[in-house]
Amino acid sequence: MKVRVVAVLVAAVLAAGGCGAQQGGVGESSVKVGGVLTKTSASGYSTKDAEIGARARFERANAAGGVHGRKIEFVGAEDDTQDPAKGDAAAKKLVQKDGVFALVPVHAPNFGGAAFLEQQGVPWFGWATGPQWCGTKTGFGYNGCLAPKTGAGSQTWWGRQMADLLGGAQGKKVWVQTSDSSGSKYGGRTIAQSFEAAGFTIAGVDSSLPGAAPPPDWLPHVSKIMAVKPDVVVSVIAGTKFNAGLYAGLKKAGYAGVLTDATSYDANILKDPAQAQAFDGVIAAPMFEPFESTAPEIAQLREDVEAVAPGTRLTQHLAIGYWSADIFLKILEQTGKDLTRERFLAAANGSFAYENAGFGRIAYPKDHSEPNGCGALVKIVGGAFEVAKNLKCFANVPLKP
């Protein structure tokens, strides 16, 4: 009798496996993935639209039959509220409880799950905004590593695109404004070198702004900048409220130069008339081809998003989710039918290269330690966005001490 019971149990287990039971998020007909985003935060900063972007790309892949016969089972994204501990807990939940194969998209500036995912060998894809993305084998920034170590390749595209836009960098001064957060200060260092490599003179790099919340009085910060009279002010501050305050203060003081940052390509900032006025004339610097572009890849993105979320405004965060998912799917395709995390990581880190006019280019393992060197410029004019410079890729230069 005992032998018969054991045989029945074994048969049941085998039958379950035959029906597509998942091992490490991989079934016969599906691959399970989920993401971690900063959907909510005390400062109001949110990357929630990345979930729509990833879902849109996954749904197109599923409509085409999936990848090697497996469709993407997207369980959605957890909210880390910009808290590293919550990000770590979210990563563990997705892997240990929800059983995902990979985390896509991860778009959280203070993501705290990197060490766990690296230790577990779980791939994760998103916007590599901090050093936790760099030097890993499992973390894949869609634009590479934006926090390279000294001596590694550092981006020049922003400075070179701006130089082209302004008719040259000779004799022009740049002020780089960051907050006192470690990530902002590090970004200020790499971006200052980008403009320097393009021929600009760096007039100052200031990190006196508090990173937790915008200051009650912008005058001291504005006065520093106005004393230098730079031709370009680069803001390396995460958050619309910060940039709106800085730009409004500079304009009130009579600043007539160029204002630029990496986060203002966001349709949501144009909803508020006061914000729209503060951002008028600002040059945003997205690391993907702008939505206003006529490129076929952008027409496809628009079509994909409309299919899953009709009427959705296209935002930078949405694009980041979309292109992160796109790269994940490309590696999934290259891995082949016999899918395990080990095989996936071997394919990704074994001289993987991919070019797409939507986001530029990516190459792993090289871009685990340096950025992909690609970006565009978009100008805010009269409450609308205009392409100032289409996406272009430039050679990196070694990061100075």
Per-residue pLDDT reduced to its tens digit, 336-347: 999 999 999 999
At residue 233, does pLDDT exceed 60? yes
pLDDT reported for residue 380: 96
Query: What pLDDT is stored for residue 45 in this prediction?
Result: 83
Average pLDDT of the segment spanning 304-333: 97
At 20 the pLDDT is: 41
Dihedral-angle region of residue 310 (phi above 0 means left; psi in -120 to 50 means alpha; beta otherwise): beta
Q: How do residues 234-253 score in pLDDT, each as one tens digit?
A: 999 877 889 999 999 999 99
Beta-sheet strands, E only, within 170-236: 173-179, 201-209, 232-236
Q: Is the pLDDT of residue 12 over 50?
A: no
- Residue among 288, 281, 266 nearest 157 (CA): 288
Q: Is the pLDDT of residue 14 over 80?
A: no
For residue range 185-197, list pLDDT tens digits in order. 988 999 999 999 9
Task: Evaluate whether 30 touches 72 at the Cβ level (below 8 Å).
Answer: yes
Q: Flag whether pLDDT at 5 surpasses 60.
A: no
Q: What are the φ/ψ torsions at residue 113 (nearest 5 degrees)?
A: -95, 5
Neighbour-count burial of 387, counting CB atoms closer than 10 A to its CB (0-12 exposed, 13-18 middle, 19+ buried)? middle
Of 301, 287, 322, 291, whose CA–CA distance to 394 is shortest? 287
Residues 6+ apart with CB under 8 A from 176: 188, 191, 192, 195, 202, 204, 205, 206, 234, 236
Q: What is the mean pLDDT of residues 277-299?
A: 96
Distance (Å, whole) CA 169 – CA 189: 19
Report residue 293's pLDDT band, with 50, 70 and 90 as the boundaries.
Answer: very high
Distance CA 88, CA 108 (A): 11
Q: Using alpha carbons, list the distances in angstroms from residue 88 to 60, 131, 144, 191, 321.
A: 30, 16, 22, 29, 19
* Average pLDDT of every residue of the chain: 92
Confidence of residue 183 (pLDDT cuts 50, 70, 90): confident
At residue 6, does pLDDT exceed 70? no
So what's the pLDDT on residue 212?
Answer: 81
pLDDT score recorded for residue 22: 66
Interatomic CA distance for residues 296 and 292, integer angstroms: 11
Strands (E), 262-346: 283-284
pLDDT on residue 379: 97
Grade residue 59 by pLDDT with cuts at 50, 70 and 90: very high
Kindly give the pairing relationship between strand 374-381 and strand 283-284: antiparallel
**Overall average pLDDT of the 363-381 stretch:** 97
- pLDDT at residue 8 is higher than 80: no
